[in-house]
Amino acid sequence: MPELPEVETVRRGLVPAMEGYVITRAEVNRPDLRWPLPERMAERLTGARIERLRRRSKYILADLDTGESLLVHLGMSGRMTVSGVMLGGFHHDHPLPLKHDHVVFHMDQGARVTFNDARRFGAMDLVRTDREAAHWLIAGLGPEPFGNAFHEEYLIGRLKGRATPIKTALLDQRIVAGLGNIYVCEVLHRAGIDPRRQAGRLSQARITSLVPIIRDVLAEAIEAGGSSLRDHRQADGELGYFQHTFRAYDREGEPCRTADCGGEIQRIVQSGRSTFFCPKCQR
C-alpha cells in the first residue's frame, strides 16, 4: 500500500494539472471502490474548481470552491495519472480507456486525470471542508512527520510505558501519520534500533534520534519519487526509485550496508508484516 512518500509524490504530480482548474466533466464509472462512492458524485464534482490539493497522512484532499473536499485513498493498486498536458517537459497524450479506469476528471485546460484501480482497495469520498477533521478516516490520525506537532518531546511522551515493539508503535497511525512498513524498517535500520525492542524501554536519547531520521528518510523517498515495488506510479506514469537505495527492506540474506557492520539482513514477521533488519548493528 502506498505510504506517505508515494502519496505525496502523486499529489505533487497532480498539482500542475488540477490545482486552480475546473472539472468540466467528472466520469464515475462504477458505484463503489472499497466502499460505496458518494451520492451524485459526478454531479457534485462537475463544474467545481479545485482550489488546493493537500495531503493528510496517506490521503489526497482536493479542496473545491463548492465548500466540499474530495478525499482520495489510493489503496493497494490505485493510480492517478495525468494526460493531455505537459508534465516534466513531456506531453502525455490521452491513452485509450482501460478496464479499471473507475473515475476520470476532465479539466478545463485539456488535462485528463484518471483513477485506475485494478483491485478496488482505493476509496473516494466527498466531505465538507470545514468538517474534514471529523471524517472517520482522518479523525484519529496523529501528527504529520514534517509538521510542528511532531517533535522529540511529543514522541517521548507517546512512547512512554508502551510494551509494544517499537516497529509496531511507529506503524500506529494514531502516533504518527503516514508511516508504513517500508519506511519504518528503513528508519529503524538507520537509527540502529532493533525493531523488537519495547517502545517504552527505549532511552529518551534514542527516541529523540528517531525524529530527524524519520524526516530524512521520508524526504529522500519523496525526492526519489517514492518506492515502486508493484503498483506505485507517479502522476506521469513513471516509476519511483527509492527502492534502489533500501538499506533493510526486502533485502533478506544480503549484506548490511552499515559501514563496518559485516552483518546480514534478516526477515521476521511482526503483527503479520515482514520486518527486515540487521541483528548485528540494530540493538
Active site residues: 2-3, 58, 273
Per-residue burial over 239-268, b = 16 or more CB atoms within 10 Å of its CB, e = otherwise: ebebbeebbbbebeeeebbbeeeeeebbee
Angle between helix 181-191 and helix 204-223 axes, rounded to 10 deg: 130
Q: Which of 121, 131, 115 is nearest to 18 (CA)?
A: 115
C-alpha radius of gyration, the chain, whole number? 20
Residue 244, all three cell numbers? 534502489
| Paired strand residues for 277 | 266
Residues with Cβ within 8 Å of 134's Cβ and at least 6 positions away in sequence, in order, are none
Our separate counts of H helices and E strands in the chain read: 6, 12
Q: Read off the amino acid at residue 122.
A: G
C-alpha 223/C-alpha 208 separation (Å) is 24
- HSE, side-chain direction, 13 A CA sphere, residue 170: 30
CB-based burial label for 149 (10 Å; 0-12, 13-18, 19+):
exposed
| Paired strand residues for 64 | 50
Residues with Cβ within 8 Å of 39's Cβ and at least 6 positions away in sequence, in order, are none
